[in-house]
Structure 1
Amino acid sequence: MTGPRRSPLSVAAVAAAFLVALPGAALSLDIELPPGAVIVQSGPQVDGRFEIAEGPWQDGSVPTREVSGLVQRMTWQMPATDTATVDLVSARFESELAAQGFEILLSCRDRACGGFDFRHRLDMGQGPEMHVDIGDFRYVSAVRDDGSGAAAVTVSRGGDTLYVNAVHVGEGPARGAWVIPSNRAPELAGADGTATADETPLTSPPEVETGLVATLLAGGAAPLDDLGFRTGASELSGQDYASLTALAGFLAADADRRVILVGHTDSEGGREANIALSEARARSVRRYLIETLGVAPEQVEAAGIGFLAPRATNVTPEGREANRRVEVVLLDAG
């Protein structure tokens, strides 16, 4: 695997930082990340809601708390080294959150969190910018003592790359970017460390590699974007799918390869019904791979998480269509 992808605004070998602008307060959360950290995704502040976990997966669910306010998301990638590990980087976030008046609700590691079930119950970011290895990640959630904000951080590793996804929910009017380059990177920030007025919004860099298999190997997951599902329908709406043909060839080349198909829906309808529908969609894709393309049943599993991990808005027909999808996740052999 190659190193982390760099956005046009990244500065090589400069430590990234994340500053949480707390409306109405002078304090900010400034966490220095290891050298080589690159911001690869930054969303705008959007008034909305976000779910953070209060405990690990248990009794078939994850206990969550819904927080509302200005939601800001940021994703970094960096080389994984002896000083940039999943545990060390997540510990740094946790320590600084606590130091800045946040109460840590949950700090857990992969299997202790609940593994696959925990990961796919929560929004931890989307590929290719964010990769979550269900066997190698840490999750931290926190709320401010005065109730003015909340945060969720996921750190994971994929190959030689470390991935960090952070979400902050705060109160008050937007005051520039929530996460901006630190004043340790003056080329990208004002003299006081705040975003400059004409700052260009950060966007995801273009893909260097193309093709389903390349995306799957690089990030551990890939969307099957040529599949089609109508609202409320679980059966595939077409007959020929290049993504499934490529996936079948990938699995046939090595009998030890295993994947899980994860179904997603739009937000129309109830939560339980949509989870059942998303599972049905994943099972229909699994059936197609086995019955039509000859994939060995033991190489492919199926699961569904309903509308809990949208990749687009559910307000528009186009967004809902994008959310009705199945993604493939690469599992460790054995």
Structure 2
Amino acid sequence: MATALIVVSTTSELVRAAEQDDAKGGRDHPLIQRFDGSWMVGYKFNEWEQAMFPTSMAVKDGRWADPVMVEGRVTKAVYTAPGGKSSLEVFRNYEQALVSAGFQRRFSCESQCSTLYYAMRKDDAYVSGMTWAKGYLVTPSGSRYSIDAGTATAEQGRLWYGTLPRGGQQVHVLVYTSVANNETTNMAATYIQIVEPKAMPTGQVKVDAQAMDKGLKAEGKIALYGVFFDTGKADLKPESKDQLGEMAKLLLSQPSMKVYIVGHTDNQGALEANLALSQQRAQAVVNALVTTYKIDIKRIVGRGVASLVPVASNVAEEGRAKNRRVELVLQ
């Protein structure tokens, strides 16, 4: 098999398909670039999103059974290889490049992969929101096919999923190759999905008084991510002002309401130190509500519980970010 260029690196130049414009905004991912001469016909990027990866041939209710769910920076792309390149040749090149770069195979399918393809394409969710290039796939006889979710097909489909350790976490990559549209195109299509785990940006939206009231009535508590502290400290940062104002608005509008302010941490560091820190942070919120917003101190009690009540796993940073929070709890 002749080896075509597929670069897995962070420094090599991109290889562009001659005289064809890629999907708007599209760019090869630094970790895995395109098969030599390919055209990027579809592209999507999210700074923070969730994506799935299959772990077996099992399909349930038309979807992958027991997939790996990963949250983080998500890149998706669909490519078509130059005419005359088989889907097997394209697939092997991607596979070799990924393995050579240190990716560890988690699951792969070499034949009869159609059930995986149709599960992936369920409701075309795998390419939802993708931007598409302008133009058509043109067959040797001159027929034209639209560029869309069906560019990758079930014909001669092969799938490879692997991970690469980086920065203490795992980068997840899925590659699926097949005949493009149908055999008359004499082309191969490749769908690539890459997820780089990262913490969700928190504190971007304050919880207003009305939402807090609804949450307290429904659950008896509500998590607030708009209260900020420097690492290891209990001094409220200025960015906390909006969230504190909404908390005060709720308490002032309902004079009979009594609440606990509960501080939570992740599991990094010693439990005793985190218990003390979470208590100090909870008390800092109480002091701000009493001093700045004139809330009766008899109505609010601060408590710190460190990492004893997580809402997510502390194994990865995205879970730890969710666990670092202040909660408002009805007494």
Instruction: Provide TM-score, normalisation by structure 2.
Output: 0.39
Question: For the pair shown, which has the larger CA radius of gyration, 1 or 2?
Answer: 2
Structure with the larger RCO, 1 or 2 (CA within 8 Å, 6+ apart): 1
